[in-house]
Structure 1
Amino acid sequence: MSEPWENSNHPLFIHHSDQPGAVLVAQPLVEDNYTTWAQSMSMTLMIKNKKGFIDGTIQRSTQRVEEQLQWDRCNTLVKTWLLGSMSKEISNSIIHCKTARGMWQELQERFSHTNTVQLFHIENAIHDCKQGTSSVTSFFTKLKSLWNEKDVLCEIPPCICEVSKEIKAYMDTQKTMKFLMGLNDNYATIRSSIVNMESFPIVNQAYSMALRQEKQAELSTGKAMAQPEATAFAMRRGNRENEDGEGAVRCEKCNKTNHSTKNCRAHLKCTFCNSRHHTFEYCRRRKAIMGDGQGSSKANNAVSFNDKKETAMNFPF
């Protein structure tokens, strides 16, 4: 006959992956993170079906010895998980506790006094939280994170009475008011519209409306900036053409004012002298060299002609 705790859904069931001393949370318990650590550890033990060992809902049997031994095994396993998820100094001070429930209660008593200090800082941060240079999304995310931390420290017991519904509605209204007051002045229109609504929206709805206005403002700003940039470019081009005097023509290739772009010679290069601003046809150096060569040839021809003439005159007949 099988035991009931051999069923995987039984709280006394131990899976083969449930190793002693395993670290179940990302950040170990230190002096200033008890609230977040306790919340993370509670969720992890809930998944492993062992949360009853810290909240006292799973009691040790007083009848069957086998069940008592299985409960002791599970209790010791949870204790090792708690000890492995805290600093060495804290674990050394509570290792003497006999049950996981007693260990959990001692941690609550030790660190509960810090909740008041943390609550004061959170309330102060919520009061000073403004949009400033942040976007609507960044501002809302920061404010939402502070509210979540406050809710963990000031958890209201669950209740189904009518008064609890009124209290929740009041708290939701306060959150929406705080969000609207933290927005910048350019959201005054949407702020007035939300305040004057007959059915006051919750904070998520108010955030959606403010985000919609932010996106519309970004589109309008983008269109408004496109036209001034084009106008500024045209003005810079006009100023560049007329900066040396009214009516002066400026070349767009070499940026000079003594000629137009059509008549610019900056790209010309002579194949004879390798100089710029002219071609082979108009090269002055080539013409000068060719002119000296023609003069020398004429002089030589004149000398030769005179020599021949003298020789002919002196020939004896």
Structure 2
Amino acid sequence: MESATRISFDQTQNLGSVYYIHPSDHSTLKLVTMPFNGTRFADWKRSIVISLVSKNKLAFVDGSLPKLEDNSSDLKAWERCNTMVIGWILTSLERTVAKNVMYYNTTRDVWINLEDKFGQSSSTQLYHIQEDLASLTQSGSNIAEYYTKAKALWDELDNVDPLFICSCNGCKCDTAKTICSSKKIKESSIS
């Protein structure tokens, strides 16, 4: 009688695995061009998320891959990747911000802490964006530059002051229709 042979595949060598680390990856790799200094969190967050998705490591941040049990065969790979992603995040933060999250053990904990401290929109942020929009003029810039500035401010405004999303089944309250209409009016006012 033949004995069943269990073939184990090393997930760290599988290009599609969340545990794969490319030979050029290291813990001090810079994923964003401008380190986060405590302002414009949404811009920094978007840049980091794009980088982490491209590296197949977003699962460490969004909580979909929590720390494995001590007896898991993939625990060492998880720890290595978790530490690598923490390094990437710390490298993308200015020193004073990094000090606040340096001693967390999981990437998820680092992320939650940053979200709690910097991810909350405030009326002050909203006011400054609205003020920037109100004072925006084309001046000497061409139409493409002007539109780019205006669009960036509108995108930032949408991020700081997100629109209400209707949750009724089949939208019987017409909230979605009203929101879409007002958004079209807002976008047409900058063109």
Letter matched to residue 170 of structure 1: S
Q: CA deviation at 1:115?
A: 4.5
In structure 2, the partner of 1:173 is 185
Q: Secondary structure at the match of 2:31?
A: coil
* Aligned with 1:52 (options 59, 65, 77): 59
Cα separation, 1, equivalents of 2:102 and 2:135? 42
Distance 1:88 1:133, change over 3 A: closer
Q: Which has the higher helix share?
A: 1
For residues 10 and 156 of structure 1, do their structure 2 counterparts lie closer, same or farther at Cα, with a shift above 3 Å needed?
Answer: farther
The answer as to 2:86 corresponding to 1:79 is: yes
> Are the equivalent residues in 1 in contact too, given 2:166–2:176 (CA < 8 A)?
yes
Match for residue 97 of structure 2 among 90, 95, 107: 90
1:164 aligns with 2:164: no
Q: Tell me how far 1:40 sits from its aligned partner.
A: 0.8
User: Could you tell me which amino acid in structure 2 is paired with residue 124 of structure 1?
Assistant: E
- Asked which structure has the greater CA Rg, the reply is 1
Deviation at 1:133, TM superposition (A): 6.0
Partner of 1:225: none
4, 21, 25: which one aligns with 2:28: 21
Q: Distance in 2 between matches of 1:60 and 1:171?
A: 41
Query: Quick one: which amino acid aligns to residue 31 of structure 1?
Result: G
**SS, match of residue 82 in structure 2:** helix
Gaps of 5+ in 2: 1-6
Distance change in 2, residues 1:78/1:156 (3 Å): farther
In structure 1, C-alpha distance between the alignment counterparts of 2:97 and 2:145, rounded to whole Å: 36
Are residue 153 (structure 1) and residue 151 (structure 2) matched? no
What is the TM-score normalised by the length of structure 2? 0.79
RCO (CA 8 Å, sep 6+): is it higher in 1 or 2?
A: 2
> Residue 60 of structure 1: SS of its match in structure 2?
coil
For 1:89, what is the secondary structure of its paired residue? helix
Supply the RMSD in Å over aligned alpha carbons.
2.6
Aligned-pair CA distance for 1:22: 1.3
Separation in structure 1 between the aligned mates of residue 126 and residue 117 of structure 2, nearest angstrom: 17
Q: CA deviation at 1:142?
A: 2.5
CA distance in 2, matches of 1:19, 1:116: 39
Identity of aligned residues (%): 26
In the TM superposition, what whole-angstrom CA distance separates every residue of 1:123-153 from its partner, at most 9, and x where no partner exists?
1222333446655444333221211222232
The whole-number CA distance in structure 1 between the counterparts of 2:76 and 2:125 is: 41
Take 1:174 and 1:87, find their aligned partners in 2: how far apart are those partners?
A: 35
Given residue 33 of structure 1, which amino acid in structure 2 is its aligned partner? Answer: R
How does the TM-score come out when normalised to structure 1? Answer: 0.50
User: What is the 5 A alignment of 1:1-317?
Assistant: 1=7, 2-62=9-69, 64-113=71-120, 115-131=122-138, 135-155=142-162, 162=171, 163-176=175-188, 178-179=189-190, 207=191
Output the amino acid matched with 1:153: V
TM-superposed CA distance for 1:16, in Å, is 1.4
> Kindly tell me: are residues 23 and 159 of structure 1, through their superposed partners in 2, closer, same or farther at Cα, counting changes over 3 Å?
farther
In structure 2, give the amino acid aligned to 1:62: E
